[in-house]
Amino acid sequence: MGPVDGATGRIRYIQKSLDDGTGRAMLWWYGWVGFYAAATIVPLTAALTSRNGTLQVTGGVSAAESLVGLSGMLVFPFTAKDAAENLRSMPESTPEEKAKKLLAAETLLRESAEDETTGSSWIQHTLGVLVNAAGALVIWQGYGGRIRRAGGEPWEQALISFVVGTSVSELQIWTEPTKAMADYKDYRDKYPSSGPSPDARLMVLPLGNGLELAAAVRF
C-alpha cells in the first residue's frame, strides 16, 4: 500500500470516527446551551417581576450561575460537534491535499479528545463546586437580611441553591460524550506512527510549485 493509499485509509478511519460521534456531541452541546439559556432567562425574569424578596435574591443568583455555565459552553468550543463536517469539506484530490487533510484529520480527532478530557477533569468538578458555593455564600451572607424580611431562612435557601446548582453542573460533566477519547486512543494504537511525537516534529509538505515547512509540537 503506497503512501497516498495509506493517507486515504487514515482519513477514512478518522472521518468515520468523527461521523459516529457527531450526533451525540451535537445533542449534548446544543442541549446544554439551550438549558443554560432557559435557566438564565426564566429565573432572571422571575427575580425582576416578583415582589417576593427571597425569589428576587435566589432567582438573580441562579440566573448568574446559569449565565456562567452558558458562557463556558459558548466561549470554549466543543470540537467534536463540528469536526466531521469540517473534515469532510476539505478536498483530497491530490497528494498535497491528502497530506494536508490527514494532518487536519489527526488534529481534529486529537482536539476532540482533548476537549472531552478537559470537560471531565477534576478542574471542571472543582469549578462547578466553587461557582455554586460562591452563589450560596452570596445568598446566605450577602442578602440574608432581605430573605429574613421576606420570611425565608438564608442558610436554607443557600443550601438549596448549592445542591441544585452543583447537581446540574455534575450532570453536565457526567453526560458529556467521551467517544473521541476512545477513538483517538484506538487510532494511535492502530497507527502507532500517527500524530505528533512527544517532541517537536518538522514536516515538509509539497504544495503547488514549492514546499511548505510545518512544525508540530506536542506537550
- Phi and psi at residue 112, to the nearest 5°: -60, -45
4 pLDDT more than 50: no
Q: Is 110 exposed, middle or buried (0-12, 13-18, 19+ CB in 10 A)?
A: buried
199 pLDDT more than 60: no
pLDDT (0 to 100) of residue 6: 85
Concatenating the DSSP letter of every residue in 45-112 gives: HHHHH---HHHHHHHHHHHHHHHHHHHHHHHS--THHHHHHHHHTS--SSHHHHHHHHHHHHHHHHHH
**Can you tell me the mean pLDDT for 165-173?**
97
Dihedral in degrees, nearest 10, Cα atoms 143, 149, 155, 157: -80
The confidence band for 113, taking pLDDT boundaries of 50, 70 and 90, is very high
Whether the pTM exceeds 0.85: the reply is: no
Beta carbons within 8 Å of 9's beta carbon, 6+ residues apart: 1
Q: Alpha helix (H) ranges present in 120-178?
A: 122-137, 144-149, 154-175
- Phi and psi at residue 78, to the nearest 5°: -105, 95
pLDDT > 70 fraction of the chain, expressed in percent and rounded: 85
The SS3 of residue 192 is: coil
11 pLDDT more than 80: yes
pLDDT (0 to 100) of residue 192: 85
More confident residue, 32 or 218: 32
Report long-range pairs for 61-66 (Cβ below 8 Å, ≥24 apart): 61/135, 61/138, 61/139, 61/161, 62/135, 62/161, 62/165, 63/39, 64/135, 65/131, 65/132, 65/135, 65/161, 65/165, 66/36, 66/39, 66/40
Q: Give the CA distances from residue 86 to residues 117, 181, 182, in Å, rounded to whole numbers and listed in that order.
A: 21, 19, 20
**Can you tell me the mean pLDDT for 17-21?**
98
All cell numbers assigned to 57 = 435574591
Dihedral (CA of 62, 141, 136, 74) sign: positive
**Per-residue model confidence as pLDDT tens digits over 40-94:** 999 999 999 999 999 999 999 999 999 999 999 999 889 999 999 999 999 999 9
- Phi and psi at residue 211, to the nearest 5°: -125, 150
pLDDT (0 to 100) of residue 195: 53
Average pLDDT of every residue of the chain = 88
Domain range summary for the chain, segments of one domain joined by +: 3-217
Contact 57, 154 (CB under 8 A): no
**Can you tell me the mean pLDDT for 105-114?**
97
**Can you tell me the mean pLDDT for 28-39?**
97
**Can you tell me the mean pLDDT for 30-45?**
97
Identity of the highest mean pLDDT range in 5-9, 148-152, 154-158: 154-158
